[in-house]
Amino acid sequence: MKPRTYLAGLIAIMMAAGVACKKQPAPSTLDMSEHLNLPSINGAPASGTQTVLEKTFDLKVSAIFPFEVPAHAAQPHLHGIFQSFAGQAHGPSDETADIGFAILDESQQADAADNRPTQALFSVDTSHNQSVNFDLPPTGEQAVKYYLVFRNAQGSKKNRFVQAHFRLDF
């Protein structure tokens, strides 16, 4: 092969390779949430702490305390403690003061309000002194409502008094 022919062929190959290696625009990012049925989270994750419940209250039958987890909360965590007393605030706090406790989402609360069977996200059948640490699901574009539900023991005619302290970290 002659040097000129060789050089011309080499230049042709280099030009073809240069066209093939031309920078292509970067592919757009693919939002997998639509394929995985996950909520799309746009914007910065929410972070902070909020008081959910800080109260001593009289519990005749049941008491419901709604709270919201803000939008874009990546790792919401509910933590707190409650103590119940028989007969009067700061009275006896033993098995005679036992109550039920649950954390419900909106659909579970609607079922419970309509006397339909439901599962709770978290529940305690009977206790008079309970610590609660519970991770809630991440939120997407909108805030999500939950409910703290306290119930007097079935058939009990005595009031209970409950002292509760709950916070939400997100």
The amino acid at residue 67 is F
Contact 136, 69 (CB under 8 A): yes
Is 16 among the domain residues? no
CATH number at residue 54: 2.60.120
Is 60 among the domain residues? yes
Is 122 among the domain residues? yes
Structural domain containing residue 74? 49-169
Is 15 among the domain residues? no
Is 119 among the domain residues? yes
Is 130 among the domain residues? yes
* pLDDT tens per residue across span 59-73: 999 999 999 999 999
* pLDDT tens per residue across span 114-140: 999 999 999 998 999 999 999 999 999
Is 55 among the domain residues? yes
Q: Looking at the 3D structure of the chain, how many domains does it have?
A: 1
The Cα–Cα gap between 152 and 60 comes to 6
* pLDDT tens per residue across span 42-92: 567 888 999 999 999 999 999 999 999 999 999 999 999 999 999 888 888
Whether 168 shows a pLDDT value over 90: the answer reads yes
Is 81 among the domain residues? yes
